Chains A and B, each alone.
Chain A
């Protein structure tokens, strides 16, 4: 029996692998956050020279790439890998060794991306690396090659995780756990995994083509030999748009678990949340052109995609409605997890609305590539995804570690993050409307630009400190936190029947499953779900 570090390095236990994913994501979150701090420092006043333009380009490229591929993807896979087997009453994932491989590929990809700093410079063409800037002629140093290779490894890790999720959910459910009784987090993970399998290959194809161009002098995106830079944009966004849903759907899953427990009510409209997830997955492939409205593709062409883009807001709206309706009439308990979950509803809705504005082509033409986009994406990615992740952390930390995160520190964490986040990014809407472009290392001293940027930087400092409070809470609670029992929140899904933390094969005995809330049925034998409303 291995112990200590070597146990962790050779583990195939889904719980340990999940923690590895989460810790890796946490590390890169701090790195990406520092990159953001550097950017905000450089932008805090006009005409600063804290970072050179070349350095700034590398920093913003790495910030975006890191946050998306080394923080959000891994942490979501981590939560999935930890929770899915527990929630379906299984002992592990279907392919434990593949699970481990997925993690190590992810770490490898992160390593490749960051070693670029030492190998002549990090990638610097933005997280979506448009051609021909990304081609050898305009980016001769090897940073772009590291970017492409790193992403290929990361993408392999994601595909592996997705395969594992589908097979696990399809074949390892405990008897009685039918598809219609799945916790929404699991259902959403299933749909999301198929989405990953369909979308990531588009990125892989594009990366292979880019590497061919750069390393073998091929001409896919090289206009001087008949290639097409627009093709890169199409291929990248055919991946890129589904990718944003890949990032947000598991967050939706977490919120769907957390809100009902702290509102003491089953989720309103389970079927609608489930069906709208399918709708989002399918529709996400039909809207990518809205990232390219400014590329002169033809009015008829972009009009159809503009209409589709407006339509895709509907299923997400359905979900928001269902979560809000769950709150109505519930007896709400504002733990830190619930605070973040409710804040998620507000912030993500706001971010969704700013995104909807972009579906209107003339608005997009005015605001594309300005700070309005930066504001929008951070409202959905941070106000949405990151807030859901904070909620998930506070909710499931007790299960993973056996200790509760400190609620007082949690309150500080919450308020600093909320205030800091909104200060940082709300003003960026205004900056965008005023015309400040994104990806600029500095800006001229135009009226209000300096002040608003300074406010944004000030907000970023508060946000950063709030994030540090979170990290401190994690480690302090790990060492000194109050012990949590199996079920500190009086929740209803199977993971709360296991010990905190669970033993290697998770359950001594899996509770019987006859409805969507097996633990409710166990705790309330006089009014179980399966006898009252059919339970699914």
Chain B
């Protein structure tokens, strides 16, 4: 039964991988036109810190999956929330500079890509919270989803942040 659920989640994540790939491709497609705005407005250092938090949450997720202890689960939720907080504050900062999804190509591609990723993190946190409430039977299935969301962020961080400032 667990094996079936894991396989099902893996198949679903396959389709999500293609989905994010397409959005990243759109970002790359418009990169030349967005580069100046990206370099001027993105903050690599701060985002790197929040990225580290998200990566740490993969570690806590792994521990939660291995031990079943609620503490690790809680840690993952917390770190995920910190990441979202960081995303949110970056968004606010950009809004203050008048950069929105409709302001420019940079805004369009950046907010769509990171926004959809953030939504996926939010859903992940919700799933983890549900697990928190009951016996953690499906932890390893949710863990797959969480690792996926973190890997996608690594790709986004590399392409949107690191590549901008190379």
Instruction: Write the residues of chain A forming the contact surface with B, with a CB cutoff of 8 angstroms.
Output: 94-95, 98, 159, 162-164, 166-167, 170-171, 194, 196-202, 204-206, 208-209, 212, 216-220, 225-228, 231, 235, 238
Q: What would 29 A/B residue contacts be, using CB atoms closer than 8 Å?
A: A94-B4, A159-B12, A159-B15, A163-B15, A166-B7, A166-B8, A196-B15, A197-B11, A197-B12, A201-B15, A201-B16, A201-B17, A202-B22, A206-B22, A208-B116, A209-B26, A209-B112, A212-B101, A216-B101, A216-B102, A218-B108, A219-B105, A225-B104, A226-B104, A227-B30, A228-B30, A231-B26, A231-B29, A235-B26
Return chain A residues, CB-CB under 8 Å to B81.
none
Contact present for B23 and A205 (CB under 8 Å): yes
**Total cross-chain contacts (CB, 8 A):** 97
Which among B8, B22, B109 is the interface contact of A164 at CB below 8 angstroms?
B8
Which among A202, A212, A228, A231 is the interface contact of B18 at CB below 8 angstroms?
A202
Which among B3, B22, B101 is the interface contact of A205 at CB below 8 angstroms?
B22
B39 → chain A closest CB, angstroms: 17
With A and B bound together, what is the CA distance between A166 and B30 in angstroms? 36
A84 → chain B closest CB, angstroms: 15
Contact present for A197 and B15 (CB under 8 Å): yes
Closest to B23 in A: A205
Closest to B3 in A: A171
Return chain A residues, CB-CB under 8 Å to B18.
197-199, 201-202
- B33 interface residue per 8 A CB criterion: yes
- B85 interface residue per 8 A CB criterion: no
Return chain B residues, CB-CB under 8 Å to A217.
101-102
- B14 interface residue per 8 A CB criterion: yes
Return chain A residues, CB-CB under 8 Å to B14.
194, 197-198
Contact present for B7 and A198 (CB under 8 Å): no
20 additional A-B pairs beyond A159-B12, A171-B7, A201-B21, beta carbons within 8 Å, are: A162-B11, A163-B8, A167-B7, A194-B11, A197-B14, A200-B15, A201-B22, A205-B22, A208-B23, A208-B112, A209-B23, A212-B108, A216-B101, A219-B102, A220-B108, A220-B109, A220-B112, A227-B30, A227-B108, A228-B30
Give residues of chain B (18-32) contacting chain A, Cβ–Cβ below 8 Å. 18-19, 21-23, 26, 29-30
Closest to A193 in B: B11
With A and B bound together, what is the CA distance between A162 and B79 in angstroms? 33
With A and B bound together, what is the CA distance between A217 and B104 in angstroms? 10
Return chain B residues, CB-CB under 8 Å to A225.
104-105
Return chain A residues, CB-CB under 8 Å to B8.
94-95, 98, 163-164, 166-167
Given contacts A167-B4, A201-B19, whether A212 and B12 have CB atoms under 8 Å apart is no
Return chain A residues, CB-CB under 8 Å to B33.
226
Return chain A residues, CB-CB under 8 Å to B11.
162-163, 166-167, 194, 197
Closest to A206 in B: B22
Return chain B residues, CB-CB under 8 Å to A194.
11, 14
Which among B101, B102, B105 is the interface contact of A226 at CB below 8 angstroms?
B105
With A and B bound together, what is the CA distance between A238 and B112 in angstroms? 20
Return chain B residues, CB-CB under 8 Å to A197.
11-12, 14-15, 18
With A and B bound together, what is the CA distance between A198 and B19 in angstroms? 9
Give residues of chain B (112-138) contacting chain A, Cβ–Cβ below 8 Å. 112, 116
Contact present for B101 and A218 (CB under 8 Å): yes
With A and B bound together, what is the CA distance between A219 and B26 in angstroms? 11
Return chain B residues, CB-CB under 8 Å to A199.
18
Closest to B111 in A: A218
Contact present for A204 and B26 (CB under 8 Å): no
Return chain A residues, CB-CB under 8 Å to B22.
201-202, 205-206, 235, 238
With A and B bound together, what is the CA distance between A58 and B135 in angstroms? 52
Return chain B residues, CB-CB under 8 Å to A170.
7
Return chain B residues, CB-CB under 8 Å to A200.
15
With A and B bound together, what is the CA distance between A50 and B3 in angstroms? 59
A197 → chain B closest CB, angstroms: 4
Return chain A residues, CB-CB under 8 Å to B109.
220
Return chain A residues, CB-CB under 8 Å to B111.
218
Query: Which 5 A/B pairs are nearest by Cβ-Cβ distance?
Result: A217-B102, A205-B22, A201-B19, A201-B18, A218-B108
